[in-house]
Structure formats: structure tokens, C-alpha cells
Structure 1
Amino acid sequence: MSESSTARVVERVDAEDRYAILVDGRRAGFTAYRDLGAQRVFYHTEIDGAFAGQGLGPQLVQQALADVRASGMRIVPVCPYVAKFLKRHDAFADITDPVTPEVLRWLKAQLG
């Protein structure tokens, strides 16, 4: 099946604290977060190897960050992939907060 005829959907899965990207109904990847007040702290992004090279990572992160903006929250990019995306796309600079030692300690406690 060609990429242009493949159905791609990004959805927020609140019960799992992540955004998932689905390709033809199958989960192809996710970006995980935890909420700290009005900040959405992204800490891990992963695309299944079977879907590598299809541009799913940027699509997933862009739509996740757009959802954060729509919800009135702010972004904290602990995840290296999200941080790299933000360096290349300044459209979210106005809602991005720095990663601080306090956020990292909080996240470590959250993740166990």
C-alpha cells in the first residue's frame, strides 16, 4: 500500500498519558507525557521499526504539540526527539518551557 493511501491518525490516549499514531488502525508509535500543573512534560517518543522511514515521528509530535496548544497548556521537552523537533520548528516556542532540574526530579519520581 502506498504511503498516500495509508490512513494516519494521531489520538491522545489520556488513560496511558500518551499520544499514539495509528496507521490503518494499527498503533505505529507514541509520545509519552506526564502533566505537571499546566505543563505537559514529554519524556519519550517511539516509532515501531516496522513503520520507520515513513515520516510518522514528525507528524505525531506536531499534532501532539498542536493539541497541547489547543488545551492551553505548555510544553516541556525532556524527550530528545521532541526537543529536536522544537529546535527545527519554532511555531511552538511561545508555549515551550525549559527543562529544569526540578522538572527532572519530579519526572523521575513520577516514573518510579
Structure 2
Amino acid sequence: MGWQAMADMKIEHEEGPSGGRYFVRKDGHEAEMTYSKAGDGIIIIDHTGVPTALGGQGIGQMLVQRGVEDARAAGKKIVPLCPYAKAQIEKHPEWQDVLR
């Protein structure tokens, strides 16, 4: 997928008192990354799911990156329990400052 197509994808964010999710809707499908809050300063990424129809487009990575950027901006730390999110953060040393 070209950068322009990725730039056109809107990552949405919903948050409640105990957690939230980042998600992308495209072509009638939805990819998401969910998290729980542990106290004021810790976000636990517990699930990343990308349907087969949206696979191979870098959407999962975009969701993790957005979570990392938002955590950094808010001064929070991430515990990546989701194996996918953990692997993505391990592949990107520039994201590891937010690891708890």
C-alpha cells in the first residue's frame, strides 16, 4: 500500500474509564487495538486484531504506533501483553522509551 493510501486512513480512538481502543474502518471491515488502564500512568495493550480483508497493509503497525505516540505525549508507559504489539515495539527501538 502506498503512503498516500495509508495517510488517507483515519485512526479513530474511543476511551472509557477502564480502557479504550484505536480502530480503523475500511471497506466495511474494522481493525482494532484494545487496551486497559492500570492506574493513571500505565496502558496495557491487550489485543490487536486485523481482519484478513485488511491484512498486509500495515494497519496493525499503524495502530500500535498511534498508541505509542499517544502514550508518550501523555507521559504514560505501555505494557504490551498482546504478542503482536510486543513484537512491533521490539522491532522499533524508537518506540521503546514508553515501555514499562
Q: TM-score, normalised by structure 2?
A: 0.82
- Displacement of 1:57: 1.0
Amino acid at match of 1:48: P
Match of 2:88 in 1: 85
Match of 2:20 in 1: 17
- 5 Å-filtered alignment, 1:1-112, equals 4-5=4-5, 7-15=8-16, 17-23=20-26, 28-37=30-39, 38-97=41-100
Structure 1 runs of 4+ aligned residues shifted over 4 Å read none
For normalisation by structure 1, the TM-score amounts to 0.74
Structure 1: runs of 5+ lacking an equivalent: 98-112
**Partner SS for 1:17:** strand
The change in CA–CA distance for 1:27 and 1:19 in structure 2 (over 3 A counts) is: farther
Alignment RMSD, CA only?
2.1
Gap regions ≥5 residues in structure 2: none
User: Which structure: larger Rg?
Assistant: 1
